[in-house]
Amino acid sequence: MFLKSVHHAAIICSNYEKSKAFYTQVLGLTIIAENYRPSRSSYKLDLALPDGGQIELFSFPTPPKRVNRPEACGLRHLAFSVQSITQMIEHIEGYGIEVEPIRVDEYTGKRFTFFQDPDGLPLELYEL
Q: Do residues 9 and 57 lie in contact, with contact meaning Cβ atoms separated by under 8 Å?
A: no
Residues 67-108: pLDDT tens digits? Answer: 776 667 777 889 999 999 999 999 999 999 999 999 999 999
Choice between 65 and 22, residue whose per-residue pLDDT is larger: 22
The pLDDT value recorded for residue 101 is 97
Buried b (16+ CB within 10 A) or exposed e, 83-116: eebeebbebbeeeebebeeeeeeeeeeebbbbbe
The pLDDT value recorded for residue 30 is 97
